[in-house]
Amino acid sequence: MNEVVKQMVEKGEMLPLMEEFYTIQGEGFHKGTAAYFVRIGGCDVGCHWCDVKESWNANLHPPTETTKIVAAAKSYSNTIVVTGGEPLTWDMTALTTQLKAEGLQTHIETSGAYKLTGIWDWICLSPKKMKLPTKEVYDHAHELKMIIYNKDDFRFAEEQAAKVNDDCILYLQPEWSKRDKVVPEIVDYVMKHPKWKVSLQTHKYLNIP
């Protein structure tokens, strides 16, 4: 990476773009909504059950000018979901400023482990035990999406729910490979603790990206 490109990446004017695609949001509050996904490479949180581990190494994904990302995104949808990897590894200011200038809705899916940058209409916070969110992300999250892999994750979910703002919507979502085992446990838990809602990866049931 030459020095000019490196500086642009540091400023968020270029981002390591892994993939971009138009699909249906499958999870959480906006499930069923047509959205354009921008997947940014780079993540050191290290979830063992991550289903996009190829996103972890940012060096595998070409630095792409945010102007090009925005130009592609606006031709598909009014709702743009920035995901990863961990998008807050990078400065999201330039990307989201341009998206908002085009009148687009900006959504982010993040572990919250890094400084909150960017202008967001919707923040989906999915905390991980290995690297906890910053207070700022807890304070601004619109939805809390807790992935349930084992019974200890219910404890962790309650611990995280105590830290988010009062308006944050609370979701429990089964880890896909464990869904047959944990879905009944989640259903039972939500019925006993109705502040929570169930989130499913409906895009996987629909067999779409």
Residue 51 assigned to a binding site: yes
Residue 47 assigned to a binding site: yes
Residue 24 assigned to a binding site: yes
Neighbours of 18 (CB within 10 A): 23
Residue 174, both tokens: 């089964």
Dist CA 74 CA 148 (whole Å): 34
Which residues, at least 6 apart from 61, have a Cβ–Cβ distance to it below 8 Å?
A: 16, 17, 18, 40, 41, 42, 55
Residue 49 assigned to a binding site: yes
Dist CA 153 CA 95 (whole Å): 33
Residue 84 assigned to a binding site: no
Among 127, 159, 122, CA closest to 144? 127
Residue 50 assigned to a binding site: yes
Residue 173 assigned to a binding site: no
Residue 124 assigned to a binding site: no
Q: Are 17 and 110 in contact (CB under 8 A)?
A: no
Provide the CA 179 distance to its chain's centre, in angstroms: 20
Residue 129 assigned to a binding site: no
Residue 25 assigned to a binding site: yes
Which residues, at least 6 apart from 47, have a Cβ–Cβ distance to it below 8 Å?
A: 128, 130
Residues annotated within a binding site for S-adenosyl-L-methionine: 49-51, 85, 126-128
Residues annotated within a binding site for [4Fe-4S] cluster: 43, 47, 50
Residues annotated within a binding site for substrate: 24-26, 39, 83, 209
Residues annotated within a binding site: 24-26, 39, 43, 47, 49-51, 83, 85, 126-128, 209
